[in-house]
């Protein structure tokens, strides 16, 4: 028997907006100022499964300390740079510099130590 396509069809154009949330200003790493859209107390259903941060500043004191060595345990991280440059390095010897328009997708296993440090001392650093 064929499924009733009309009955199983979901009209994606008629979704209802349930809630809007403004990003929360937070500090992470060694004092990097960022805006957290997902993963704050305002949307507890996503935490700790999904987090979305934006970092954007042309004030070096907001980002130069970066995100020094910290553990990653079995989750995915995606970094997308719109402006500026960040060096990603891990305890397995992997190292890469991300700059304007580049993206890095990292799968981290238990025991991996990772750092993300800006490669510039001034100018706009912007990414997610």
Q: Is the pTM of this model over 0.85?
A: no
Q: How far is CA 13 from the centre of its chain?
A: 28
Work out the average pLDDT over 104-111.
Answer: 80
Residue 75 half-sphere exposure toward CB, CA atoms < 13 A:
10
Percent of the chain beyond pLDDT 70? 88
User: Which of the following CATH numbers is that of domain 9-127: 3.10.290.10, 2.60.120.10, 3.30.1360.120, 3.20.20.100?
Assistant: 2.60.120.10
Assign 85 to helix, strand or coil: coil
Summarised one tens digit per residue, pLDDT across range 52-82 is 889 999 999 998 899 899 887 777 788 899 9
39, 47 Cβ separation under 8 angstroms:
yes
Q: Residue 5 pLDDT more than 60?
A: no
Distances in Å between the Cα of 68 and the Cα atoms of 10, 12, 119 are 46, 42, 13
Q: How confident is the model at residue 110 (pLDDT cuts 50, 70, 90)?
A: confident
């Amino acid at each position: 028997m064929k499924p009733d396509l009309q009955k199983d069809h979901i009209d994606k154009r008629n979704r209802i907006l349930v809630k809007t949330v403004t990003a929360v200003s937070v500090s992470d790493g060694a004092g990097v100022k960022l805006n957290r859209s997902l993963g704050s107390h305002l949307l507890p259903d996503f935490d700790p499964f999904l987090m979305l941060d934006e970092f954007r500043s042309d004030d070096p004191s907001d980002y130069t300390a970066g995100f020094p060595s910290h553990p990653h345990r079995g989750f995915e991280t995606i970094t997308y740079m719109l402006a500026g440059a960040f060096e990603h390095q891990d305890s397995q010897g992997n190292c890469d510099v991300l700059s304007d328009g580049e993206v890095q997708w990292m799968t981290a296993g238990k025991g991996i130590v990772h750092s993300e440090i800006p490669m510039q001392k001034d100018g706009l650093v912007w990414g997610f």
